[in-house]
C-alpha cells in the first residue's frame, strides 16, 4: 500500500485580489504562511518520506514549511503539478473577465470542463498531465508515504480522478480550499479515500 497525501498551497496575494493565477505566480500572504505552518504541524506524524511540489513559488513555499517541520532533507518540484494554465486570463481580475466575456462565463460557471481558455488549457488536459505524473510517483515510491503540494483546480482534478469520476463530474468532489488535506491509500488500482478536502488544522479566521 502506498499513501498519497494531496494538498494545496496557502493563501496568496492574488487570491485576496481576485486575480487569475494559473501558471503565473503570487507570493504567499502572512495568512498563507500561517496556513502552511499549521498544515505542516498536522502532517508531522503522517510518516511522510517524500515531498513533491509544483514548481510555482507559492507551492514551493508551502512545501518548504512541511519539509522543515518534518526534518526532510529536500523536496522535488515538477511542472506537471502546476495550476490550470489560464493563458490570456492570467494576472487579470476575475470579475473584469466576467464582465467582458459574459457568454463564456455562463458556460464556465456551470460546465467549466467545456472551456479551453485562450492560450491556455482545459480541465481534461490538467487532469491528464497531473494524473500521469501521480502514477509515476506511485511507481517510484511503492509502499511509501508521499506528499504532493499543488493548486486548487489541479488538486480538484486529481481528487476527482482518484475517486473514480470523469472530468465532467468534477462537481461531485469537494472544493479544495487553501491547504486542504486529502489522504488516499493506494492498493493496486484501488484508491481508498481516508480524508477529503479537510481543513481542521485551520481555525475559521485562517480558512480560505
Residue-number span of the structural domain to which 18 is assigned: 2-206
Residue 4: what pLDDT?
A: 98
Q: How many CA atoms lie within 13 A of 187 on its CB side?
A: 5
Distance (Å, whole) CA 68 – CA 64 = 6
Give the tens place of pLDDT for each residue, 141-190.
Answer: 999 999 999 999 999 999 999 999 999 999 999 999 999 999 999 999 99
Q: Closest Cα partner for 39 from 10, 72, 76, 14?
A: 10
Give the tens place of pLDDT for each residue, 70-108.
Answer: 999 999 999 999 999 999 999 999 999 999 999 999 999
Residue 203: what pLDDT?
A: 80
User: Domain containing 115 — which CATH number?
Assistant: 3.40.50.1240
Q: Among residues 83, 90, 113, 121, which one is catalytic?
A: 83
Residue 109: what pLDDT?
A: 93
- Cβ pair 168, 111 in contact under 8 A: yes
Judge whether 141 counts as a catalytic residue: no
Judge whether 103 counts as a catalytic residue: no
- Cell (9 digits) for 126: 490538467
Total count of domains within the chain: 1
- Cell (9 digits) for 26: 503570487
40-43 contact pairs (CB < 8 A, 24+): 40/65, 40/66, 40/68, 40/69, 40/70, 41/69, 41/201, 42/181, 42/200, 42/201, 43/5, 43/69, 43/70, 43/147, 43/181
Q: Is the pTM of this model over 0.85?
A: yes
Average pLDDT of every residue of the chain = 96
Q: Among residues 9, 90, 113, 151, which one is catalytic?
A: 9
Grid-cell match 481543513, residue found: 199
Give the tens place of pLDDT for each residue, 105-150.
Answer: 999 999 999 999 999 999 999 999 999 999 999 999 999 999 999 9
Amino acid at each position: 500500500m502506498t499513501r498519497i497525501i494531496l494538498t494545496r498551497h496557502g493563501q496568496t496575494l492574488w487570491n485576496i485580489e481576485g486575480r487569475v493565477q494559473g501558471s503565473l505566480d503570487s507570493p504567499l500572504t502572512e495568512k498563507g504562511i500561517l496556513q502552511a505552518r499549521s498544515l505542516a504541524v498536522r502532517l508531522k506524524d503522517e510518516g511522510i518520506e517524500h515531498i513533491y511540489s509544483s514548481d510555482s513559488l507559492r507551492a514551493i513555499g508551502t512545501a518548504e514549511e512541511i519539509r522543515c517541520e518534518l526534518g526532510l532533507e529536500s523536496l522535488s518540484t515538477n511542472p506537471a503539478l502546476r495550476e490550470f494554465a489560464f493563458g490570456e486570463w492570467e494576472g487579470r481580475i476575475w470579475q473584469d473577465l466576467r464582465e467582458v466575456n459574459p457568454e463564456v462565463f455562463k458556460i464556465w460557471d456551470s460546465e467549466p470542463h467545456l472551456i479551453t481558455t485562450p492560450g491556455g488549457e482545459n480541465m481534461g488536459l490538467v487532469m491528464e498531465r497531473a494524473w500521469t505524473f501521480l502514477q509515476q510517483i506511485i511507481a517510484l515510491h511503492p509502499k511509501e508515504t508521499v506528499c504532493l503540494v499543488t493548486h486548487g483546480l489541479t488538486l480538484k482534478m486529481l481528487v476527482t480522478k482518484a475517486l473514480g469520476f470523469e472530468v465532467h463530474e468534477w462537481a461531485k468532489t469537494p472544493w479544495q480550499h487553501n491547504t486542504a488535506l486529502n489522504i488516499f491509500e493506494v492498493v493496486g488500482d484501488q484508491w481508498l479515500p481516508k480524508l477529503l478536502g479537510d481543513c481542521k488544522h485551520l481555525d475559521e479566521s485562517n480558512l480560505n
